Structure 1
Amino acid sequence: MLNVAMLSKWHVHADGYAKHLQSLENANITAVWDENNERGSAWAKELGAGFESDLDALLRREDVDAVVVDAPTSMHADVMIAAANAGKHIFTEKAMALTVAECDLISAAVRQAGVKFCISFPARTRPHHLFAKQLLDEGQLGEITLLRIRNGHDGALRNWLPDYWYEEKLAGGGAMMDLGCHPMYLASWLLGQPKRITSMFSHFTGRAVEDNAQCSIEFANNAVALLETSLVTYRTPSAFELYGTEGTLIVSGDSVQVASKNADSPLQGWISPYRLPEAQPLPLTQWVNGVLNDVPMPFGLEDGTKLTELLETAYIAHRERRTVEFKQPGGCK
């Protein structure tokens, strides 16, 4: 049994993570800490867990083996370093941190402590994205030339996100720092080392952080990714398009179509695959199982750092209104 503490209810996914842990037979929520004492105390009662207003006191508890971090993104580095130093395994909501420098500090603490670390990359567990990686690895699409991903909803337009979601000091950014994480880490996973990036962020609802955003990224293999995200689009169907010199994959909602010169099929034109890879367990489930069974984490420190590298550089490109080049490998100029 893995005894887990929930570190803040700030993130909109925090309650969902708690409910998921409660549904597992091998996990138990024993304690809660929150930077907002009133919110945390009420949540602890709801979960039937103890509440600690002092993070260090929580991390000293013997009934806490691991922590789920849903604190404001700006607090991630301090919270996770403290958890690692206390010998607690860590699951964190994306983004890992606001800067690569902070990610490096977290990584050093985790490695020094020898604890398990996992970041929530749910899009990498889904069948159509696993299918894209399979096609890419098998060479069915040839050399990749273009990736386009759209991910959006109307949270800012219809005001169903909490007001603090738009506080730059806490969140570190808006649409790209939130929903934009998914296209970003998918692009990194599929295309490898980024080469240069441009960004265009806008403030449709007039809030402090962007609610509509897109980034264009060129990778070292000369592929280009067009990543679009928004908090102001109504009923936005997700879109995933992967183009190569030998084939194309188009995913729209539940519809998947592929065309490849190398496909093992007598059919010409578009093919709808009759079977996709099975969905992998959610990252939180994989983390719990990984800690208990001492197996490698699916989405670790390097993955989290690569995402932050893309995000940090995207915001630099937006603020400075220029194309920003990446150092090879890693880091930004």
Structure 2
Amino acid sequence: MGTPLKVAVLGFWHVHARDYARQAQEHPGTELVAVWDDEVELGRAGAEQFGVPFTEDLDGLLQRDDLDGVIVTTATDVHRDIMVKAANAGKHIFTEKVLAPTVAEATEIIEAADANGVKLVVSLPRLAHGYTQAIREVIASGVLGQLTYGRVRLSHDGAIPRNGNEGWLPQRFFDPKAAIGGALTDLGCHPIYLLQLFLGADPETVSAIYRSVAGRGLEDNAVVTVGYADQKLGVIEAGFASPNPFTIEIFGTDGSLSYTDEGNVLRVKGNQLPVPEHSPDPFAQWVSHITDGTRADDNLARAVELTRLVVAANEAATKGDSIAYDGKVIS
């Protein structure tokens, strides 16, 4: 591998910013060289932790000739402004989900990246996990028959007070403006893009129920249901209020499968199947797209459809009713 790509972290707003900064330091193809954050205290702390300079001058940072790419982990509401600016400066972009608060903004970001030859990848990590590939192969084999129902649940207890503290998830995750939404918009992204992968991204209807167990300002307990033209149903569950195992269930006319990360166990029609190793994660994929000069077509299409369903779910929850869904099919 040649000279490592020089990368900066833009924002330590998101809890995964440190994970991505660590990846940038550990990946042989990248070097972390700077941190910017409009919240100076957060940015300085992150820069100090990783031993790189902090800057308050975003425009100056993006004009650096020796900077190749940026990791965007700012508040969700400024994703569009930050990423379009970075793309126009010719900097490759790796970003936390969701890509943007609206489909229009997500599309604008992708168009800016394409126009400037920028390689853009959204972190959708569970698409690369071994159980995902195994489940796709089971579905494709037809052993389950016609699919009728799918359910994906992901939850942690980050909103729940422990030992006198308000919960390990920062309060900024419950700011309606910055976060756009609560558990569904953040953690729920993973069940959404997985369900779209397994059942399709073209439901007819969406309904949603949100609740707040901890009462911190946004939902920490969410269930979204989607209905398809072929009569199958999908259920998306996400929460910040209970430390449940990650689970996937897919039912068909001829059988069912289940997966749990408790023991990494996949069962199909009662029989346990081996779970493959993970494929390269989204950060590694980003580096490969930059070095190979390729576009992350599937990742970007799924990122847009993820945004579309998040927006629809939030609308349905606000209305308290099922709504028609104008999704776009992903092959």
TM-score by length of 2: 0.92
- Aligned twin of 2:131: 128
Deviation, 1:187, is 1.2
Aligned residue identity for 2:198: L
| 2:308 paired residue number | 309
Partner of 1:215: 224
Contact 1:286–1:298 under 8 Å retained in 2: no
Matched ranges for 1:229-248 at <5 A: 229-233=238-242, 235-248=243-256
Q: Is the 8 A contact 2:171 2:216 kept in 1?
A: no
State the alpha-carbon separation in 2 of the partners of residues 22 and 149 from structure 1: 33
Find the counterpart in structure 1 of residue 276 from structure 2: 277
Check whether the contact 1:290–1:297 (CA below 8 A) recurs between aligned residues.
Answer: yes
Q: Find the counterpart in structure 1 of residue 285 from structure 2.
A: 286
- 2:195 maps to 1:196: no
The question of whether the paired residues in 1 share the 8 Å contact of 2:265 and 2:275 is answered with no
SS at match of 2:309: helix
Whether 1:14 aligns to 2:17 is yes
Q: 1:71 corresponds to which letter in structure 2?
A: T
Find 2:56's aligned residue among 49, 53, 57. 53
Corresponding position of 1:266? none
Classify the secondary structure of the residue corresponding to 2:271. Answer: coil
Aligned-residue offset at 1:13:
0.4
Letter in 1 for 2:224: C
Q: CA deviation at 1:258?
A: 0.3
**TM-score, normalised via structure 1 length:** 0.91
Cα distance in 2 for residues equivalent to 1:314 and 1:195? 13
Question: How far apart in 2 are the matches of 1:7 and 1:220?
Answer: 42
Corresponding residue number in structure 1 for 2:144: 141
Q: Distance in 2 between matches of 1:59 and 1:52?
A: 11
Tell me how far 1:134 sits from its aligned partner. 1.1
Specify the code of the residue in structure 2 equivalent to 1:97: A
Whether contact under 8 Å (2:121, 2:282) holds in the other structure is: yes
Counterpart for residue 35 of structure 1: 38
Deviation at 1:42, TM superposition (A): 3.1
Q: Hey, what does 2:267 align to over in structure 1?
A: 257
RMSD over equivalenced CA pairs, Å: 1.5
Displacement over 6 Å in runs of 4+: none
Contact 1:118 1:299 in 2 (8 A): no
Task: In structure 2, list runs of 5 or more residues that go unmatched.
Answer: 162-166
Check whether the contact 1:283–1:298 (CA below 8 A) recurs between aligned residues: no
Structure 1: distance between partners of 2:327 and 2:219 = 29
- State the distance in 2 between where 1:36 and 1:126 align: 33
Percent identity of paired positions between Structure 1 and Structure 2: 37
Is the deviation greater in 107-116 or in 38-47?
Answer: 38-47
Q: Is the 8 A contact 2:308 2:327 kept in 1?
A: no
Indicate if the aligned counterparts of 2:206 and 2:324 stay in contact, CA closer than 8 A: yes
Deviation at 1:83, TM superposition (A): 0.8
Q: Write the distance in 2 (CA, Å) between the matches of 1:221 and 1:79.
A: 40
Give the drift of 1:298: 6.8
Aligned residues: 318
Residues 80 and 128 of structure 1, relative CA distance in 2, 3 Å threshold: same
Compared with structure 1, are the counterparts of its residues 305 and 28 closer, same or farther at alpha carbon in structure 2 (3 Å cutoff)? same
Q: What is the one-letter code of the residue matched to 2:17?
A: A
Checking the alignment, whether the CA contact within 8 Å between 1:191 and 1:221 is kept in structure 2 is: no
Match of 1:163 among 141, 164, 171: 171
